[in-house]
Amino acid sequence: MPDGAVSGGDGYDGSGDSDSNDPYADNNAGENGMSGNSNGDTEEEYAGNNEGTAYGDAIKVDSLTTIYFDFDRYDIRTDMKDYIKANADFIKEKNIKAVVLQGNTDEFGGDEYNTALGLKRAISVRDALVLQGLPRNMFSTISYGMHKPVCREKTAECYAKNRRTDIVEK
């Protein structure tokens, strides 16, 4: 397992406080210091590079796609729920047997905090996929925290791309 990675299960609560703030966060932090959409952009602008084809309200993907999160959050965003369903449909259609859910964060906060947050993100995606009818035991979860960014620029758009769970066939 790479440095900074934590493989998780249901019992890890990852409690802790962030030791720094997102410079793009609003001042209306919610419960437990968590804020919602942080820089005034719409959720759709955060969707990153998820590509799919819309059929009415449904999205169809031709590969497993990434699920993105708001700053300091691990709940599934409204704009990502169709991607959860599309990933579940793809897993069923391709008869995929094992999936790794890799939780990631931006660089804000301490290592321990971000590792815990990444794990919570992976578990949230797992739970959402299970609600789509997939067996829980097909998933493993891991957190890379802030150690595997896909973007290194110091911009709001780049930070948003790093707040994600990658869904990877094992």
Q: How far apart are CA 154 and CA 85, in angstroms?
A: 32
pLDDT score, position 91: 98
pLDDT score, position 15: 36
| Residues 74-98, mean pLDDT to the nearest whole number | 98
Q: How far apart are CA 83 and CA 68, in angstroms?
A: 10
Domain spans in the chain, listed from the N-terminal domain onward: 6-169
Residues 6+ apart with CB under 8 A from 86: 52, 58, 59, 60, 61, 65
Average pLDDT of every residue of the chain = 78
Q: Is 131 helix (H, G, I), strand (E, B) or coil?
A: helix
Q: For residue 8, is pLDDT > 90? A: no
Band (pLDDT 50/70/90 cuts) for residue 167 is very high
Q: For residue 104, is pLDDT > 70? A: yes
pLDDT tens profile 81-90: 999 999 999 9
Residue with tokens 């708001």: 70
Query: What distances in angstroms separate CA 5 from CA 52, 120, 154, one per listed residue?
Result: 29, 13, 23
Q: How far apart are CA 64 and CA 50, in angstroms?
A: 9
Architecture of the domain spanning 6-169? 2-Layer Sandwich (3.30)
pLDDT tens profile 19-73: 334 333 333 333 333 333 333 333 333 344 455 554 445 789 999 999 999 999 9
Share of the chain above pLDDT 90, in %: 65
**What is the model's pTM?**
0.71
Answer yes or no: are the C-beta atoms of 155 and 42 closer than 8 Å: no
DSSP of 27-92, one letter per residue?
S---GGG--SS-SS--GGGG-TT---EEETTEEE-SS---EE--TT--SPPGGGHHHHHHHHHHHH
